[in-house]
Amino acid sequence: MTVREIRLFGDPVLKTVSDPIVNFDDKAKSLIQDLIDTTQLPGRAGVAAPQIGVNLRAFSYNVDGVVGYLINPTLIEVSGQKLLVDEGCLSVPGLWHKTPRYEFAKAVGLDLDGNTVEIEGSGLMAQALQHECDHLDGLVYLDRLEDDERREAMKNLRATDWFMK
């Protein structure tokens, strides 16, 4: 079991659009296993490859006891109301803010055999799919906040003991 260190806000890899995985080799298998291992720690709903310092399009999730992964995912549907939900991020530890997220999300990607996989859900699964796909596009949840909430978040961020000032 390899639990990888989580990169923190301010690390350039978190603001970089990730490259697709093109070779489904041992290196890809190792990355997916590391993502799954890292996600399975208590309190974690998902981990994207950039969060462990790898600029590739993959993430793992652990929602309601269901653990899995997607390679080269694309959100193909978001629907329902856009709600303000309490959201945090392993790369922004200790901060939770009201983040606009759709009630339902569906993503399509690949498994390690190159087969198409579709994942959908509402509630926490919808939030996780949106959150992790954002990471692969160089976004953190702070980028999604409404203006007043974002100002408060940045103030809170500067007050943390881990943020590089």
| pLDDT tens digits for range 9-40 | 999 999 999 999 999 999 999 999 999 999 99
Q: Is 164 part of a structural domain of the chain?
A: no
Is residue 101 within 8 A of residue 127, CB to CB? The reply is yes
User: Average of pLDDT values for 75-100?
Assistant: 97
Q: Is 108 part of a structural domain of the chain?
A: yes
Beta-carbon-side half-sphere exposure of residue 86 (alpha carbons within 13 Å): 3
Q: Is 1 part of a structural domain of the chain?
A: no
Q: Is 35 part of a structural domain of the chain?
A: yes
Number of Cβ atoms within 10 Å of the Cβ of 19: 13
Question: DSSP 3-state assignment of 26?
Answer: helix
Q: Is 111 part of a structural domain of the chain?
A: yes
Q: Is 165 part of a structural domain of the chain?
A: no
For residues 141 and 43, which has the higher predicted lDDT (pLDDT)? 141
Q: Is 5 part of a structural domain of the chain?
A: no
Per the structure, how many domains does the chain have? 1
165 pLDDT exceeds 70? no
Question: DSSP 3-state assignment of 151?
Answer: helix
Q: Is 5 one of the catalytic residues?
A: no
CATH number at residue 123: 3.90.45.10
Using one digit for the tens of pLDDT, what is the confidence trace for 94-108? Answer: 999 999 999 999 999
Q: Is 104 part of a structural domain of the chain?
A: yes
Looking at residue 49, the DSSP 8-state letter turns out to be G
Range of the domain at 102: 12-158
How many angstroms separate the CA atoms of 34 and 2, rounded?
5
What's the mean pLDDT when you consider all of the chain? 96
Active-site entry in 5, 103, 132, 146 = 132
